[in-house]
Amino acid sequence: MVTVSVALFSSLGNNLGMTLALPHPPTLTAESMADSQAFGRALAQALAKQLHFSERAMHEFLPGTLLQKSGDRLERLAYVMRGQLDVVVHVPGSIGGQLIPISFQSGDLCFLSYLFNHLPSGGDLVVRDEAVIRWATVKEIEHALLCQPELMVLLVRFLGNRLREVQARERALSTRGVKARMGSGLLRALADVPERSDGRSVIELTHEQLALRCGVSRPKASVALKEMERLKLLELGHKSIEVLDVEALEQYIA
């Protein structure tokens, strides 16, 4: 099989790396997202220890605070101690005019794709929930990676998993309908939800917030969600959505 390399926009940022254009891009699953998230946090924690993050000043920010804006050349990256940060990408002509392709939570290091390329930011970094962060400069992170081979291996493994995740997201956004976009958005959100003692999979998002993340209109999002509820894939609540069967949801959007 012949594969073709093309430059694609990465939802990690404006990282114009080479991405394999496969005839059948990988499907986004809860397992693949969990793997990507686990590698990312392992790398962030290893870097935090190496760079003595515990000795750095902590900065608190209120929801809605713009930490970095699209077009900035990033000199430092945020390590999230508490709360959540969203990457907001402005897409002229799209429904709503913007997308939220990725979020960072406690234990995450933001914008890893800016390492070693020094390209301008491709989106705004906005505080979604009240957050506490520590800053690290890109130069010192790069130096730590070059001096510690085990950290570089973690970075490569993380980026390999994230590349497959990005390919699946791009496929869902560019070639699939509302059903696939909404289902993929639910799986992405579910990957960030902490495990509950009762074993339920509850996502604290409104229909409007989920629609914004998936790049679809609010009415279309509601229709898709109600259809999934009718099929007993999920249950809609007040400002929350409970996924009842993750495997069935993955099959539904495949």
Query: What is the CATH class of 176-253?
Result: mainly alpha
Buried b (16+ CB within 10 A) or exposed e, 78-115: bbbbebbbbbbbeeeeebbebbbbbbbbebbbbbbbbb
pTM: 0.61
pLDDT tens figures, 141-176: 999 999 999 999 989 888 888 777 767 666 655 546
Contact call for residues 85 and 110 (beta carbons, < 8 A): yes
Q: What is the pLDDT of residue 27?
A: 53
Please tell me the CATH code under which domain 10-18+27-161 is placed: 2.60.120.10
Name the nearest CA neighbour of 11 among 134, 98, 72. 98
Q: What is the pLDDT of residue 15?
A: 37
Contact call for residues 245 and 186 (beta carbons, < 8 A): no
User: What are the mean pLDDT values of the chain's consecutive 10-residue runs (254 residues total)?
Assistant: 34 35 47 73 91 94 92 91 88 60 86 83 89 95 94 88 72 67 84 82 87 82 92 91 91 82
Q: What is the pLDDT of residue 173?
A: 57
> Which alpha helices (H) appear in 15-121, and where do they start and end?
30-50
Name the nearest CA neighbour of 53 among 115, 127, 135, 131. 135
Residue spans per domain, the chain: 10-18+27-161, 176-253
